[in-house]
């Protein structure tokens, strides 16, 4: 029998972000599933992130935490009418983002059997990845390994092999296609990377070495460094910039230092590579920027950069503590992109107590960056106030970032 509530549209509308429940089945026998909600679902369910026509809708997307074999199940208590179709309105929207032919729907027993069988032979090293770093977890003391794999090259090899063997797929590419949906659900504006168009894609993965649980991932790629065309044309050695594209620590493992460990492992590897000239990041969010700033500052302090910053200008009367040439030399030494190094230099000046020079450095950058906007202000007093206000905001933010740093040698 229908009730008044049955005719109220809001009772049949659900947030897709709230309805979708992501779960990880731990490697340890008997351990409870780790369940969490996505941050974004608009790539799958549209900009409004709403699903209409169901009551008590729950979309279960479950992964084995070792093999990441996906399982999908949709549950609801009622539909708004015969024109509502769970297959069309929910399942058919999410399945295109899952690995074709490599997920199980509804049959939980079949899924458990499948991933348990895969676990028996699952080997991180057999994925085609090499371990490039390891560290002890700050929260649990466990050993974690950071692995790098030539994702684009493996995908290209698969494509070539499929000409004679249509089902050919490397273990690493299969694993990536299982986990890539997480980038859409937790990284704003993320899209699936096109492996076919770019063979230079690399994949970094962080695993718990004891139970083989995946903790974090990062995609990256390299491209030619064309900054000096003459030097580029005459150089026999290749020169590349490398760019971090997608970076994610899975939600159950966030806040435990894994993001910093993964970022530092990537930086150290690229820093040691003589063909890499610069580390860049593609559209970082605020949380990544903060993590990156803290780790870059701590790295510079350990490397002795703070000790290289002079106490006084090279020439008496100079308003800038360091010249642009000196800053550029240091930037290249540490393989950091220009905007990032400029900010790090400013934070170093603030931390080292070079406040008068810090103020000049920051205000100069503000004026250059906002030259056109400042020129539109009526008089010098307004321009000075605008610069001063911006400076105070920058200083406050720098102090916040510095407060989260751990420096070995202090000032």
d(CA 210, CA 231): 47
Torsional class of 349: left (φ above 0), alpha (ψ -120 to 50), beta (otherwise): alpha
Q: How far apart are CA 113 and CA 99, in angstroms?
A: 18
Q: Which two tokens stand for residue 220?
A: 């990256």
Which among 48, 108, 209, 282 is annotated as catalytic? Answer: 282
Candidates 137, 369, 95; CA nearest to 257 is 137
Provide CB contacts within 8 A for 89, sequence distance 6+.
51, 52, 53, 54
| 63 and 35 Cβ atoms separated by less than 8 Å | no
Distance separating alpha carbons of residues 342 and 348, to the nearest angstrom: 10
Q: Which long-range contacts (CB under 8 A, 24 or more apart) does 358-364 make?
A: 358/395, 359/391, 360/319, 360/320, 360/321, 361/320, 361/321, 362/391, 362/394, 362/395, 363/387, 363/391, 364/320
> Do 93 and 45 touch, CB atoms closer than 8 A?
yes
Catalytic site includes residue 286: no
Residue 347 · residue 401 · CB < 8 Å:
yes
Distance of alpha carbon 271 from alpha carbon 134, whole angstroms: 17
Residues taking part in catalysis: 282
């Amino acid at each position: 029998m229908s009730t008044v509530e049955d005719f109220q549209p809001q009772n049949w509308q659900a947030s897709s972000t709230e309805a979708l429940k992501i779960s990880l089945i731990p490697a340890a026998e008997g351990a409870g599933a780790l369940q969490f909600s996505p941050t974004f679902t608009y790539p799958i369910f549209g900009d409004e992130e709403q699903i209409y026509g169901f009551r008590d809708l729950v979309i279960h997307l479950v992964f084995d935490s070792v093999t990441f074999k996906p399982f999908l199940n949709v549950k609801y208590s009622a539909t708004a009418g015969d024109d509502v179709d769970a297959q069309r309105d929910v399942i058919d929207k999410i399945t295109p983002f899952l690995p074709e032919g490599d997920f199980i729907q509804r049959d939980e027993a079949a899924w458990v059997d499948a991933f348990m069988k895969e676990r028996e032979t699952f080997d991180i090293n057999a994925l085609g990845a090499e371990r490039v770093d390891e560290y002890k977890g700050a929260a649990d003391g466990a050993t974690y390994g950071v692995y790098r794999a030539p994702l684009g090259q493996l995908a290209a090899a698969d494509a070539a092999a499929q000409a004679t063997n249509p089902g050919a797929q490397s273990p690493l590419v299969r694993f990536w296609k299982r986990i890539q949906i997480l980038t859409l659900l937790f990284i704003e504006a993320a899209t699936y990377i096109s492996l076919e168009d770019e063979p230079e894609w690399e994949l970094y993965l962080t695993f718990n070495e004891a139970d083989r649980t995946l903790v974090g991932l990062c995609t990256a790629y390299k491209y030619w460094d064309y900054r000096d065309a003459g030097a580029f044309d005459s150089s026999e050695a290749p020169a590349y910039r490398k760019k971090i594209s997608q970076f994610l620590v899975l939600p159950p493992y966030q806040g435990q230092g894994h993001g910093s460990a993964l970022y530092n492992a990537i930086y150290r590897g690229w820093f040691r590579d003589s063909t890499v000239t610069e580390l860049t990041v593609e559209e970082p969010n605020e949380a990544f920027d903060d993590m990156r700033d803290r780790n870059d500052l701590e790295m510079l302090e350990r490397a002795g950069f703070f000790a290289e910053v002079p106490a006084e200008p090279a020439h008496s009367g100079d308003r800038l503590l360091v010249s642009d040439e000196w800053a550029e030399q240091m930037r290249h030494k540490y393989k950091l992109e220009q905007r990032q190094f400029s900010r790090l230099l400013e934070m170093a000046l603030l931390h080292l107590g070079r406040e008068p020079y810090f103020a000049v450095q920051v205000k100069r950058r503000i004026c250059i960056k906002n030259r056109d906007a400042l020129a539109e202000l009526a008089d010098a007093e307004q321009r000075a106030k605008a610069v001063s206000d911006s400076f105070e905001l920058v200083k406050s933010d720098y102090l916040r970032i510095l407060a989260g740093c751990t420096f070995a040698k202090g000032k």
